[in-house]
């Protein structure tokens, strides 16, 4: 069921559905005393997003709160307490480290290393040329090949990268493909077919959220309209042919790393998910055909309790959106599956071993918040790509939390805390207001095109940087407790010979493949695009013929053009 014309009203009503006895004001200079009088907050007692905190919370703060309605039990609507009744008692979250660098061969070695250390998934980081739809031999790719991730030019690289890794034995394979989402989907479907793995026998999660690229990350290629079309092509194809795969992850993490507050992280990601859902429904898909395969990716920032409350609020909002906006009582559609990554933005090059503690606390917040997928940063990431010992510590951090701390023995262990419930309510209220504001302005795509998201994030980032510069927000080792010493730590560097090797491999591929089959595949993509058909089937045939990502994206550039950032946003 598509949304009604009263959606804006519904969003507004939800944003005012909680009666709070203590307003967690985001004014950094005032807070409310027990008597209700506002006074100056001299000690800066507030959360990272600016919610002013009283000295203590009591039952009085939740006197109008209905636990049966707003909490329920784990595995029950509105899923505030988690999407599964047993949560981690039954199965731990997927521990999938985000990795990949250099050539497919080198990344294959790192993936096998992590699996041998107990990792339960493969997280593929792609280099910038790949994410931008350029072959490694493109002039603009020079100096970037294999640097921020693995260089993937064709299906041949994917075959090498995942060689010897049993697709049906790893927990999940995920990748950051966004503007190239349907191409990455085609690679993995073609790989499974070649190795005799039907889609039902293994699981893939694509990021495939291109809207956030226009706002906070920058690896967009095509204009917003065609970009959304390509995202939904992947979603639609999976709904019909790989229903256990997760073809779209709405990301709030990048909004947060760009300087946004909790309300921006959740509000913008949820608004983007609404845009994708509306587009899918306009194609004739039903909510229950695709919503259970949507995932959400959030950052785990450094305010411990705010992060726990954030995850709880996010689940509750999504459940209510599915029920009220789309009129769906489908249980699996209402459940928000959350992927989380510790905050690289909080890691420091100064005293880098402090990052081990930061990552551990952030990971613990994610677990207490009830996420399904977790990747932990390595302590050396402020200096370089992670070294093997650093990435092992990051993985061991998750394993220690899972097996030694006892926190996985009970679902939602902080549920019922006066503080956690009040903070969850407050975050929910703020996010509903953000969603109502976006809806009133015409929706996510319109807001992005007009620069609303960008302006909100820039303002918030500026305010946060002022807090750090002034010392109001303490960063240990940076603006307080500095040692003044140069601390040397071995940095992992990509071998400069990688680019030469990749270019040689690409040249050899183009000589050995059936170039007539490649041209037929590219022509099929062009024809499907001209007819406004789903492009994934033709992409699968093209990648099976070893058409390169640059060749495929050049066809798409001819069809849709390229997006140029308006000067007003630069």
What pLDDT score does 44 carry?
67
First to last CA, the chain: 39
pLDDT tens for 129-175 read 999 999 999 999 999 999 889 999 999 999 999 999 999 998 789 99
Measured from the Cβ of residue 34, the count of other Cβ atoms closer than 10 Å reads 11
What pLDDT score does 568 carry?
52
Regarding beta strands 337-342 and 294-300, do their DSSP bridges make them parallel or antiparallel, or are they unpaired? parallel
**Poorest-pLDDT segment among 41-45, 73-77, 258-262, 264-268:** 41-45
What pLDDT score does 545 carry?
98
What pLDDT score does 12 carry?
38
Mean pLDDT for the stretch of residues 448-452: 93
> Residue 30: pLDDT band by 50, 70, 90 thresholds?
very low
Task: Say how far apart CA 405 and CA 401 lie, in whole Å.
Answer: 5
The model's pTM is 0.91
> Residue 519: pLDDT band by 50, 70, 90 thresholds?
very high
> Residue 119: pLDDT band by 50, 70, 90 thresholds?
confident
Mean pLDDT for the stretch of residues 177-193: 97
Question: Per the structure block, which two tokens stand in for 4?
Answer: 């009604």
Mean pLDDT for the stretch of residues 280-304: 97
Q: Is the pLDDT of residue 499 over 60?
A: yes
Residue 30's DSSP bridge partners are: 40
Q: Is the pLDDT of residue 226 over 70?
A: yes
**Poorest-pLDDT segment among 80-84, 106-110, 276-280:** 106-110
Which helix (H) or strand (E) is 175 found in, with range? strand 173-175
Measured from the Cβ of residue 208, the count of other Cβ atoms closer than 10 Å reads 29
What pLDDT score does 1 carry?
35
Domains and CATH numbers, the chain: 67-406+420-470 (3.20.20.240), 517-569 (no CATH)
pLDDT tens for 349-403 read 999 999 999 999 999 999 999 999 999 999 998 988 788 899 999 999 999 999 9
Measured from the Cβ of residue 62, the count of other Cβ atoms closer than 10 Å reads 21
Query: SS3 string of 477-535?
Result: CCCECCCCCCCCCCCECCCCHHHHHHHHHHHHHHHHCCHHHHHHHHHHHHHHHHCCCCC
Crossing angle of the two packed helices 7-15 and 304-324, in degrees rounded to 10? 150
Q: What angle do CA 238, 242, 247 make, to 5 degrees?
A: 45
What pLDDT score does 387 carry?
84
Task: Say how far apart CA 87 and CA 90 lie, in whole Å.
Answer: 6
> Residue 496: pLDDT band by 50, 70, 90 thresholds?
confident
How far lies 191's CA from each of 16, 120, 154, 196, 525, in Å? 49, 20, 11, 9, 19
Backbone torsion region of residue 64, taken as left when φ is above 0, otherwise alpha when ψ lies between -120 and 50, otherwise beta: alpha
Q: Is the pLDDT of residue 302 over 90?
A: yes
Question: Per the structure block, which two tokens stand in for 360?
Answer: 């551990």
| C-alpha dihedral sign at 428, 431, 436, 439 | negative
> Residue 490: pLDDT band by 50, 70, 90 thresholds?
low
> Residue 29: pLDDT band by 50, 70, 90 thresholds?
very low
The mean of the pLDDT values for the chain is 90
């Amino acid at each position: 069921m598509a949304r009604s014309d009263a959606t804006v009203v519904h969003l507004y009503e939800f944003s005012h559905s909680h009666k709070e006895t203590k307003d967690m004001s985001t004014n950094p200079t005032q807070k409310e005393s027990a008597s209700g009088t506002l006074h100056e907050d001299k000690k800066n007692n507030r959360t990272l997003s600016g919610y002013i905190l009283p000295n203590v919370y009591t039952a009085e703060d939740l006197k109008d709160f209905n636990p049966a309605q707003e909490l329920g039990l784990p595995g029950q609507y509105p899923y505030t307490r988690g999407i599964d009744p047993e949560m981690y008692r039954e199965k731990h979250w997927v521990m999938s480290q985000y990795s990949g660098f250099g050539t497919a061969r080198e990344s294959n070695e790192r993936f096998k290393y992590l699996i041998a250390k107990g990792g339960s998934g493969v997280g593929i980081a792609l280099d910038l040329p790949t994410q931008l739809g350029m072959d490694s031999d493109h002039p603009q790719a020079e100096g970037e090949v294999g640097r921020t991730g693995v260089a993937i030019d064709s299906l041949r690289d994917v075959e090498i990268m995942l060689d010897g890794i049993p697709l049906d034995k790893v927990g999940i394979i995920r990748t950051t493909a966004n503007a190239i989402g349907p191409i990455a989907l085609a690679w993995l479907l073609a790989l499974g077919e070649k190795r005799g793995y039907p889609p039902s026998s293994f699981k893939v999660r694509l990021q495939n959220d291109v809207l956030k690229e226009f706002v906070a990350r920058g690896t967009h290629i095509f204009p917003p309209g065609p970009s959304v079309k390509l995202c939904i092509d992947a979603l639609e194809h999976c709904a019909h042919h790989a229903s256990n795969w997760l073809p779209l992850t709405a990301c709030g993490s990048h909004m947060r790393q760009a300087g946004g507050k909790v309300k921006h992280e959740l509000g913008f990601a949820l608004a983007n998910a609404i845009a994708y859902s509306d587009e899918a429904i306009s194609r004739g898909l039903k909510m229950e055909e695709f919503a259970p395969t949507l995932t959400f990716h959030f950052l785990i920032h450094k305010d411990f309790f705010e992060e726990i409350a954030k995850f709880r609020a996010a689940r509750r909002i999504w459940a209510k959106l599915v029920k009220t906006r789309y009129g769906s009582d489908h249980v699996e559609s209402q459940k928000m599956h959350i992927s989380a990554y510790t905050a690289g933005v909080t890691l420091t090059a100064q005293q880098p071993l402090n990052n081990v503690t930061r990552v551990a606390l952030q990971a613990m917040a994610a677990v207490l918040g009830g996420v399904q997928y977790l990747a932990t940063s390595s302590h050396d990431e402020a200096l370089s790509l992670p070294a093997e010992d650093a990435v092992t510590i990051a993985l061991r951090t998750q394993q220690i939390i899972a097996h030694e701390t006892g926190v996985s023995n009970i679902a939602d262990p902080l549920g019922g805390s006066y503080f956690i419930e009040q903070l969850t309510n407050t975050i929910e209220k703020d996010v509903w207001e953000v969603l109502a504001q976006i809806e009133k302005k015409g929706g996510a795509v319109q807001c992005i095109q007009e620069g609303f998201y960008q302006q909100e994030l820039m303002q918030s980032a500026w305010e946060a940087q002022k807090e750090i510069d002034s010392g109001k927000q303490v960063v240990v080792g940076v603006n307080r407790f500095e040692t003044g010493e140069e601390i040397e730590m071995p940095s992992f560097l990509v071998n400069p010979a990688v680019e030469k090797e990749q270019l040689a491999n690409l040249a050899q591929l183009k000589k050995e493949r059936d170039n007539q089959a490649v041209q037929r595949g590219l022509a099929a993509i062009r024809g499907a695009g001209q007819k406004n058909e789903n492009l994934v089937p033709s992409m699968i045939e093209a990648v099976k013929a070893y058409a390169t990502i640059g060749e495929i994206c050049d066809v798409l550039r001819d069809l849709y053009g390229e997006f140029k950032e308006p000067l007003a946003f630069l």
